[in-house]
Amino acid sequence: MRRFKPFFTFGLLMAVFMLSGCSDMIVLDPKGPVGAEQRDLIMYSIWFMLFILIVVYALTAFIVYKYRDRKNHKGYDPDNEGSHLLETIWWIIPIIIVIALAIPTVKSIYSLEGPPEKSKDQKPLVIHATSVNWKWVFSYPEQDIETVNYLHIPEDRPVLFKLTSADSMASFWVPQLGGQKYAMAGMETELYLQADEQGTYEGRNSNFTGEGFTNHTFDVMAMSDAEFEKWASETKADAPELSKGQYDKLMLPGHVKEMTFSSTHLDWVDHATNAEYALDARERLGYEEKIPHSRAAKEEKKKREEEMKKLEESESESHGDSHAH
Amino acid sequence: MKWDEFFVTGDPMIYGADVSIVLTMVGILFYLTKYKKWKWLWDEWLTTVDHKKLGIMYIVSAVLMLFRGGVDALLMRTQLAVPEAKFLDSQHYNEIFTTHGTIMIIFMAMPFLIGLINVVVPLQIGARDVAYPYLNAVSFWTFFIGAMLFNISFVIGGSPSAGWTSYMPLASNELSPGPGQNYYLLGLQIAGIGTLLTGINFLVTILKMRAPGMTLFRMPMFTWSSLVTMVIIIFAFPILTVALALMTFDRLFGSHFFTLQGAGMDMLWANLFWLWGHPEVYIVILPAFGMFSEIISTFSRKTLFGYKAMIWSMLLIAGYSFLVWVHHFFTMGSGALVNSVFSITTMAIGIPTGVKIFNWLFTMYRGKIQFTTPMLWSLGFIVNFVIGGVTGVMLAMAAADYQYHNTYFLVSHFHYVLIAGTVFACFAGLIYWYPKMFGYKLNERIGKWVFWVFTIGFNVCFFPQYFLGLDGMPRRVYTYSEESGWGPLNMVSTIGGFMMGIAFLILVYNMYYSFRYAKRETTGDAWDGRTLEWSTPTAMPPFYNFAKIPEVTGLDHFWRQKQAGKVEKLKVEDIKPIHMPSNSGVPFIMASFFFVAGFGMVFDWMWMAIAGMIGVFATLFYRSFEYDDGYYVSVEEVIETEKISK
């Protein structure tokens, strides 16, 4: 048995890990009904999995220990080649487990397509989230405002995200509010999320999009309804309008700080129906992607970073002191 | 193209690699010339059509690729060990994880398994070679050349950096210009030809060349798993071929299948890729299952439990493998019905897999278990693979997958399946059939060290990653912040990674040590085996494998003969002239032309691509008019070979 001790110690450690670590891990510490539903499904499945592991490990340990080759070996039966009863049992048990897992899974898949059950009769806040290497542009069509790399949302109200991308395939993910969905150029996908607690949550693109992928992140601030309305109307009044020229610069690959505008790019382009817009904008600015390790690429990158800085300055200047964020 | 675009410059590690590549090449050339080995190399290896030698070359290449992919892995783990590390920059890290994934799947796992299949399957079915020995050499050399083409990318032109999945439009010219992504397309395309040919070759071999009396349901389980794998290859690889060709058109000839412009469909690439990619997972796991079946049965000294159930479960898995590809992108928003259907099919694949686990356990039940190293790897497989299996079922639950997708939870899952399944099998199979290939066993004591260091290191490396995933750490990030709190578990993971690296070094040392000191086998039956490959009188079978083709009367024929004390002795009057295929240098030359063509395409130098393709067609043409039907080994030569060996 000595040989297998590490495995058991390990299994024990694993169980301890799981039980103690649950509340610390953000996926298992959701702040909204979508994330909570997923957390419940995950925990439900984990118990099944632990059961399966325990059965297999116990059986393995028993058989390997009992039938190891040794003196006074008993029960050797070299022609024991099968048992209909046993085999039927281990066809049926997994089938039952799969059914037990499939039912809640399918239920959740369907319920996650719509707004959370408890806030069904509320009108969801619509936000268009557009990914462009390596930034997130958020448009609030009803409020007619636009933010870059941060979101304000009211708590206890479903938010309908309409996701798309200006270039690479990205994945919109705010782990503490709920699971992710892809944002793709020339396509629109929809994702419902909701925050039940005020606070700041980290969101990011989780689908690899190239060099700047690691910092392709944004913050989500959930606040009271009143605070949200106040922020939205102040932004509308004080923030600068988004010009086409500024938006073109946003289409360049790179990172920018958080920005705020009192109009949205939806006035002239929806990337869900126009997949070529970002590439055209890059062409207008004379930008072309270069072979990564070449000297030309380094120069190009410097040029891009300068453009980004100019864009950031142009936004801050017109803002004056009334930066709403 | 400028010089700074052709050579990768500016990174001291790359300069180091340049120097070591040149030195190694000079060293090899010097050795071959000084010891007059050129002719030996050409006659014995480069022109061989012998399935055993091709198999060994596959395995040697795969071990080299395991080293390359492993170094990639350790570079990544070093970068991730602490938050905000500056060891690799983003671009370099992206290239490394791309090549790590591609190399480990395409150029390590598959060739390793195909190598073992090459060595073992013809022997297991009592055949003298495969159905198309010449084609087999073409398979090997196209794989090898594809691998080499892919591998030079990191010093010439730059490696691909769009991930091994190469999702569009990221992998398009507009977002990933230059030769890097072309290397991926051409390297895989050329190697893919070899894989598809292997699929056809072994399908025919297994169906048509079995020894008399070996009906389908008397085939050893490894042969069965190979047969099923070949069927999957034949259906899956054409999809990859077409997808790669379409992306090549996009990148080189301005078409718009997957691009942002011209209403290209990036989702189409994802679908095609995984329509091949998921069956590919089973291509690398089913032969592993076959090997474990052989090894567990041999070292439990007992017949396999539920032989027919094993076969049916494998056939079910093979069928299912084509019905689950959407689970790689549940988050694409295909709608509730699609996600539900693919959730259920994916979970259902766990059923036959679970059945196999229980059948292996009950093969040991009432057995007499010997803890040899191949058996240790097999037990390690059961214990660890189950973790990969259950987390796979968790990932199959689409609603929950929205949270696991693109995180380290997923990374950990597939490493638990691919390492504990495929890599453990490669090690187990290599050690188990080592005496068949080289005439001596690997040292058992050192082998057990390798097993423990590797298995513990593997768990230390990957188990924490489940928790990192649940804590929101996405895959493919090149660094992370201190505040994320992911630092400690990443450090643990890195330590585990290096333990696996050390285990690999001990394994290589074991090969050297055993080469020097291991006792040479005097019989063909090193492990008291059950199947026909162990029935050859010599440890290493002669090039024609069997002087007399055995007649099979049942499952585990050789074992039953031994039990009954009726192992047939070869009689001189049984020996007849043996027909064997001639060696040929054409496959090697053809593959070299593929290299020229591939390199030309990578750099968009069409003159070179066309010249290379003319060479390829010239060798095809030459072969078409070659009237070499092989030769006969005379009775005298057979008698002499067999006597020497007695």
Confidence grade of residue A314 (pLDDT, cut at 50, 70, 90): confident
Whether A31 contacts A197, CB under 8 Å = yes
Contacts of B479 in chain A (CB under 8 A): 214
Judged by a CB distance cut-off of 8 A, whether residue A292 touches chain B is yes
| Chain A nearest-CA residue for B395 | A42
Contacts of B344 in chain A (CB under 8 A): 98, 102, 106
Tell me if B347 and A101 make a contact (CB, 8 A cut-off): yes
Please, what sign has the CA dihedral across residues B631, B632, B636, B640?
A: positive
φ, ψ of residue B229 in degrees (nearest 5): -60, -40
Judged by a CB distance cut-off of 8 A, whether residue B261 touches chain A is yes
Contacts of B475 in chain A (CB under 8 A): 208
| Chain A nearest-CA residue for B341 | A106
pLDDT in the model for residue A324 = 47
Q: Which residues contact B583 (CB under 8 A, 6 or more apart)?
A: B43, B47, B48, B49
φ, ψ of residue B431 in degrees (nearest 5): -70, -40
Instruction: Give the whole-angstrom CA distance, residue B598 versus residue B608.
Output: 9
Model confidence pLDDT, tens digit, residues A251-275: 999 999 999 999 999 999 999 999 9
Scanning A21-60 for CB atoms below 8 A from B yields: 21, 24-28, 35, 37-38, 41-42, 45-46, 48-49, 52-53, 56-57, 59-60
| Chain B nearest-CA residue for A76 | B366
Whether B390 contacts B382, CB under 8 Å = no
Based on DSSP, count helices (H) and strands (E) in chain A, helices before strands: 7, 11
pLDDT in the model for residue B408 = 97
- Whole-number mean pLDDT of chain B? 94
Give the SS3 label for residue B478: coil
Q: Which residues contact A136 (CB under 8 A, 6 or more apart)?
A: A129, A130, A148, A149, A172, A203, A205, A216, A218
Contacts of A43 in chain B (CB under 8 A): none
Judged by a CB distance cut-off of 8 A, whether residue A117 touches chain B is no
Min Cα distance B585 → chain A (Å) is: 38
CA angle (A124, A129, A130) in 5-degree steps: 160
Tell me if B347 and A187 make a contact (CB, 8 A cut-off): no
Judged by a CB distance cut-off of 8 A, whether residue B101 touches chain A is no
Confidence grade of residue B8 (pLDDT, cut at 50, 70, 90): confident
Q: Which of A54, A182, A300 to mutate to test the interface with B (most CBs of B within 10 A)?
A: A182
HSE-up (13 A, CA, CB side) for residue A65: 11
Cα radius of gyration (chain A): 27
Three-class secondary structure assignment of A214-275:
HHCEEEEEEECHHHHHHHHHHHHHHCCCCCHHHHHHHCCCCCCCCEEECCCHHHCCCCCCCC
Distances (CA, A) of B38 to A247, B50, B94, B148, B631: 64, 19, 39, 20, 24
CA dihedral B180, B182, B183, B188 (to 10 degrees): 140
- Nearest in space to A66 (alpha carbons), one of A77, A74, A58: A74
Judged by a CB distance cut-off of 8 A, whether residue B536 touches chain A is no
For the beta sheet containing A189-193, the strands, ordered from the edge strand earlier in sequence to the opposite edge, are A189-193, A159-165, A125-132, A135-140, A145-148, A259-261
Instruction: Give the whole-angstrom CA distance, residue B8 versus residue B152.
Output: 11
Scanning B151-210 for CB atoms below 8 A from A yields: 158, 161-163, 167-170, 174-180
Element at A205 (helix H, strand E): strand A199-205
Whether B44 contacts B53, CB under 8 Å = yes
Tell me if A210 and B175 make a contact (CB, 8 A cut-off): yes
- Nearest in space to B507 (alpha carbons), one of B371, B373, B372: B373
- Nearest in space to B427 (alpha carbons), one of B503, B526, B314: B503
pLDDT in the model for residue A18 = 55
Distances (CA, A) of B536 to B446, B539, B634: 28, 7, 19
| Chain B nearest-CA residue for A216 | B477
Min Cα distance A49 → chain B (Å) is: 6
Average pLDDT over residues B460-476: 96
Model confidence pLDDT, tens digit, residues B194-210: 999 999 999 999 999 99
Instruction: Kindly state the percentage of chain B with pLDDT values over 90.
Output: 89
pLDDT in the model for residue A21 = 53
Instruction: Give the whole-angstrom CA distance, residue B141 versus residue B145.
Output: 6
Instruction: Give the whole-angstrom CA distance, residue A259 versus residue A262.
Output: 11
Model confidence pLDDT, tens digit, residues B584-609: 999 999 999 999 999 999 999 999 99
Nearest by CB to residue A211, choosing from B8, B90, B357, is B90
Contacts of B264 in chain A (CB under 8 A): 275
Tell me if B178 and A207 make a contact (CB, 8 A cut-off): no
Q: Angle, to 10 degrees, between the axis of helix B373-396 and the axis of helix B266-300? A: 140
Whether B348 contacts B419, CB under 8 Å = no
Per DSSP, A3 falls in state: G
Judged by a CB distance cut-off of 8 A, whether residue A94 touches chain B is yes
Distances (CA, A) of B443 to B261, B287, B372, B446, B544: 59, 25, 11, 6, 28
Q: Is the pLDDT of residue B398 over 50?
A: yes
Scanning A222-241 for CB atoms below 8 A from B yields: none
Judged by a CB distance cut-off of 8 A, whether residue A180 touches chain B is yes
Judged by a CB distance cut-off of 8 A, whether residue A158 touches chain B is no
Q: Which of B250, B329, B373, B390 to mutate to test the interface with A (most CBs of A within 10 A)?
A: B390
Judged by a CB distance cut-off of 8 A, whether residue A99 touches chain B is no
- Nearest in space to A196 (alpha carbons), one of A224, A174, A217: A224
Other CB atoms within 10 Å distance of the CB of residue A245: 12
Model confidence pLDDT, tens digit, residues A131-183: 999 999 999 999 999 999 999 999 999 999 999 999 999 999 999 999 999 99
Tell me if A293 and B10 make a contact (CB, 8 A cut-off): yes
| Chain B nearest-CA residue for A113 | B336
pLDDT in the model for residue A316 = 82
Q: Is the pLDDT of residue A7 over 80?
A: no
Q: Is the pLDDT of residue A126 over 50?
A: yes
pLDDT in the model for residue A322 = 46
Confidence grade of residue A292 (pLDDT, cut at 50, 70, 90): confident
Average pLDDT over residues B179-190: 96
pLDDT in the model for residue A19 = 53
pTM of this structure: 0.94
Other CB atoms within 10 Å distance of the CB of residue A144: 16
Distances (CA, A) of B583 to A112, B54, B171, B257, B315: 62, 12, 41, 43, 36
B35 token code pair: 């010891």
Average pLDDT over residues B70-84: 96
Contacts of B339 in chain A (CB under 8 A): 109
Tell me if A186 and B260 make a contact (CB, 8 A cut-off): yes
Instruction: Give the whole-angstrom CA distance, residue A170 versus residue A130.
Output: 9
Nearest by CB to residue B397, choosing from A10, A101, A168, is A101
B606 token code pair: 């069409």
Check residue B64 and give left, alpha or beta (phi > 0: left; psi -120 to 50: alpha). alpha
Min Cα distance B75 → chain A (Å) is: 17
Instruction: Kindly state the percentage of chain B with pLDDT values over 70.
Output: 100
pLDDT in the model for residue B646 = 45
Contacts of A178 in chain B (CB under 8 A): 402-403
Average pLDDT over residues B489-506: 97
Q: Is the pLDDT of residue B470 over 80?
A: yes
Kind of pairing, strands A189-193 and A159-165?
antiparallel
Q: How many residue pairs from chains A and B have C-beta atoms closer than 8 A?
A: 309
Q: Which residue has the tokens 């290896």?
A: B45
Model confidence pLDDT, tens digit, residues A36-77: 999 999 999 999 999 999 999 999 999 999 999 988 888 898
Confidence grade of residue B612 (pLDDT, cut at 50, 70, 90): very high
